[in-house]
Structure 1
């Protein structure tokens, strides 16, 4: 009896202690403001070319609904950004000229282009076909109909007939410009015309247009390329940007911003930023960068450059083959802490060998199961929503976001260490929730195990709450009645 009484006293003491038996504590900083969140997104090339007619695919990616998908119950990711790829391929003959196809080109990565020949810039002429690329366009419309509200038009390569070697996979050495100098403006006309056509005929307007994709990289080789791609020297980028701004303006698309330059890594993006020049930077409304430097690179310097120039910053493309979700959550948290993007976009939502959030074969048109990475990403996309203020989470394992309209604080945290309790301290807020109030939480195990499970077992004690984390666990918490 004495032993049981002692246990009861100890349990009550733990329950009323502001810092319970926890190994680490993180304190959220309410005075920070790293970005106003614009949203989560995905590029539509190449998977939408293959599966653009699938309504269930659109449901799982572009709604927050729970969907039964290939016998799996999937929580919708609620993505609100799509990047639509303006293709570079066509199979017509232009006065004896035809497209050159790399011997290693993957068929599913050849994207149909709208401008078939150089005879006319008039989009209503026979030089243009607006019926190609129907599947990618159908997924674009499916996304729009499900609430997607940010649209970016991007190019992997100019139309093949604008290229020196007529190969939309790149120059013959990979490191030389492949856009013919006399077609700099034609590339801008192509993209601006698509943007204009969309605003008139497709039921939305593109928020931004990006004329390049990893332009400084040297692997866009027409003799070995497996996809569309094109190298652009920085000076060429600056010239094309000026043409693109002029072409958009002449069509009344003055509010459509230009994004640049979608470099492969943070460090290359820094070099490009420093070299573009003030005129080109003045025409750029947002800095886009890809996240393929993973755990490396000076994210902080790129953020300082972008913010110092008054530019928003996106991680506009990220992907890797780790289906467990470990690399994704690690690099995503690094982006939040150091890059401070206002949006984050995944590359191939459906793909093979772990690259896809859902396993899919774009050539054989087969779809499998969602990987654990899908559920890891859901911890972020379903809770950190557009309009929220991104806060300093106080540690290298925490991301925080605040919704001022609902006075809700969202915390996403990962535990890389041995199983432990983690404290979350809200004492720096004017009001850190309500003592005794429920904190909803959701849990996902990296690799295998829990996929996306909700719990109602966590409560605020004073201005602190805590939760038990197994090793390799991602958890999200939503705290109500929080005031900055």
Structure 2
């Protein structure tokens, strides 16, 4: 019978701790929040490709999925959060006025909107068209059938006719608000009406509604923009948030959270939130949403402190980059767990061009291709850290820990950025640190190339510790059973 070196050590009662180059002590006395889940926006990929079963399985199940004509067997990510984009575009003319289109707009980034003119706010009138955006809605329905249970409605821009220049890509210089002041309430009514319609006719209850997308940023320029976007000053946001809360309440949606403000960076999010607090508008907001595009920089801990002081939840509601190796994703995700303490994390596009996509795709050509290596890096987290788990202090800057109280299971995800070494995990602070000699299943993905979520059964607890050998840039996930806080 073949034994690994570690197995022999456990059986013989010896310790190999001298072989462990780094020791990490997991802290059970922390509580960084209950994990709500992992997600993706459906804009723009779902609007382009529609309800493709194999993509839905990859994104929303933890099944092993047959892909590429059966040539690949891929682990599903198990995402349980969907962000649905309320579009801002329509191609009608009303009272001699029609939408202005930026010359650089990308067609698959134009999203159909439901409220096509300003004649009536009655959602059953001819001013509304509920037949549009069928692809995105159908993917949302399919996601529901695969177990997605958390939904957010968000807007990149108000409907074009609410905009000062009638262009849903932004103002003519990118720095000015583009929502007409007399349409502040209309924008809120638009979103609340979609949420009401979804509950009544789509079988979807939106848990939250977000009225803005990176509103303080200055790149929403209608003359050069390639997507929908709109600048909102913090003072304007405050007014719209009040209208949105009122519009939701009046439609029987008082339990639907208002989230804000989907700023591009952690630092901008902190500044905007402080402004909303000072104006009193924060009382209408139940969660801070922030985007992760500050990557390795920014005051994550400061934003967490603001959320804690206000008693509101905190999500990283959008993240993406073009590093297909998974290195940036792993690094920034661990930084979020360690300092931001968000309780949900959303990747921008499951399908996208080049290395931005988890699945490389051309949404204009309606084609999908290879699975990126960072897909498998993300799977190390999403398939194991599941909704309802408590996020713990992993004890080091390269380790994430979560506790499943129902199954008394400890989840550890760790990355080795340095030279090849043993990483040793100390569970001595737990009242029950697992059973001595028990198997600790592990899964491995190599950043860049190599292992793609490969499972191993060769790691065992020795006393209150276990360890594993990591090569450089290796991500490993461990599940330790019979653990009690």
So what's the TM-score if we normalise by structure 2? 0.97
Residue number in structure 1 paired with 2:15: 17
Residue number in structure 2 paired with 1:3: none
5+ unaligned residues in a row in structure 2: which ranges?
Answer: none
Instruction: Work out whether residues 18 and 462 of structure 1, in 8 Å CA contact, stay in contact via their aligned partners in 2.
Output: no
Instruction: Work out whether residues 18 and 461 of structure 1, in 8 Å CA contact, stay in contact via their aligned partners in 2.
Output: no
CA distance in structure 2 between the aligned counterparts of 1:14 and 1:418, rounded to whole angstroms: 29
Instruction: Work out whether residues 14 and 20 of structure 1, in 8 Å CA contact, stay in contact via their aligned partners in 2.
Output: no
Residue number in structure 1 paired with 2:212: 212
Change (3 A) 1:345 1:14: farther
The 10-residue stretch of structure 1 (138-147 or 18-27) with the greater mean CA deviation from structure 2: 18-27
Q: How does 1:189-268 map to 2 (within 5 A)?
A: 189-268=189-268
Query: What secondary structure does 1:36 align onto?
Result: coil
- Following TM superposition, by how much is the alpha carbon of 1:68 offset from its aligned partner in structure 2, in angstroms? 1.0
Residue number in structure 2 paired with 1:388: 389
So what's the TM-score if we normalise by structure 1? 0.97
Instruction: Work out whether residues 329 and 374 of structure 2, in 8 Å CA contact, stay in contact via their aligned partners in 1.
Output: yes
Query: What secondary structure does 2:316 align onto?
Result: strand
CA distance in structure 2 between the aligned counterparts of 1:223 and 1:57, rounded to whole angstroms: 35
CA distance in structure 1 between the aligned counterparts of 2:128 and 2:205, rounded to whole angstroms: 20
CA distance in structure 1 between the aligned counterparts of 2:10 and 2:208, rounded to whole angstroms: 57
- Following TM superposition, by how much is the alpha carbon of 1:278 offset from its aligned partner in structure 2, in angstroms? 5.1
CA-to-aligned-CA distance 1:222-272 (integer Å, 9 cap, x gap): 000000000000000000000000000000000000000000000000110
CA distance in structure 1 between the aligned counterparts of 2:12 and 2:135, rounded to whole angstroms: 58
Q: How does 1:150-169 map to 2 (within 5 A)?
A: 150-169=150-169
CA distance in structure 2 between the aligned counterparts of 1:381 and 1:322, rounded to whole angstroms: 18
Instruction: Work out whether residues 9 and 15 of structure 2, in 8 Å CA contact, stay in contact via their aligned partners in 1.
Output: no
Count of aligned positions: 477
Residue number in structure 1 paired with 2:476: 475
Q: How does 1:32-431 map to 2 (within 5 A)?
A: 32-70=30-68, 71-276=71-276, 277=278, 279-431=280-432
Query: What secondary structure does 2:230 align onto?
Result: coil
Instruction: Work out whether residues 316 and 342 of structure 2, in 8 Å CA contact, stay in contact via their aligned partners in 1.
Output: yes
CA distance in structure 2 between the aligned counterparts of 1:162 and 1:417, rounded to whole angstroms: 53
CA distance in structure 2 between the aligned counterparts of 1:12 and 1:115, rounded to whole angstroms: 67
- Following TM superposition, by how much is the alpha carbon of 1:72 offset from its aligned partner in structure 2, in angstroms? 2.1
Residue number in structure 2 paired with 1:433: 434
Change (3 A) 1:11 1:154: closer
Residue number in structure 1 paired with 2:446: 445
- Following TM superposition, by how much is the alpha carbon of 1:280 offset from its aligned partner in structure 2, in angstroms? 1.1
CA distance in structure 2 between the aligned counterparts of 1:14 and 1:337, rounded to whole angstroms: 37
CA distance in structure 2 between the aligned counterparts of 1:189 and 1:11, rounded to whole angstroms: 66
CA distance in structure 1 between the aligned counterparts of 2:124 and 2:17, rounded to whole angstroms: 69
The 10-residue stretch of structure 1 (157-166 or 123-132) with the greater mean CA deviation from structure 2: 123-132
CA distance in structure 2 between the aligned counterparts of 1:53 and 1:388, rounded to whole angstroms: 30
CA distance in structure 2 between the aligned counterparts of 1:111 and 1:244, rounded to whole angstroms: 21
CA distance in structure 1 between the aligned counterparts of 2:100 and 2:159, rounded to whole angstroms: 12
Instruction: Work out whether residues 20 and 466 of structure 1, in 8 Å CA contact, stay in contact via their aligned partners in 2.
Output: no
Query: What secondary structure does 1:439 align onto?
Result: coil
CA-to-aligned-CA distance 1:110-141 (integer Å, 9 cap, x gap): 00000011111111111111110011111100
Query: What secondary structure does 1:35 align onto?
Result: coil
5+ unaligned residues in a row in structure 1: which ranges?
Answer: 1-6
Instruction: Work out whether residues 392 and 399 of structure 1, in 8 Å CA contact, stay in contact via their aligned partners in 2.
Output: yes
Instruction: Work out whether residues 10 and 460 of structure 2, in 8 Å CA contact, stay in contact via their aligned partners in 1.
Output: no
Change (3 A) 1:309 1:11: closer
CA distance in structure 1 between the aligned counterparts of 2:219 and 2:10, rounded to whole angstroms: 63
CA distance in structure 2 between the aligned counterparts of 1:147 and 1:300, rounded to whole angstroms: 32
CA-to-aligned-CA distance 1:300-329 (integer Å, 9 cap, x gap): 000000011101000000000000000000
Change (3 A) 1:480 1:20: farther
Change (3 A) 1:397 1:250: same
CA distance in structure 2 between the aligned counterparts of 1:115 and 1:13, rounded to whole angstroms: 69
- Following TM superposition, by how much is the alpha carbon of 1:334 offset from its aligned partner in structure 2, in angstroms? 0.3
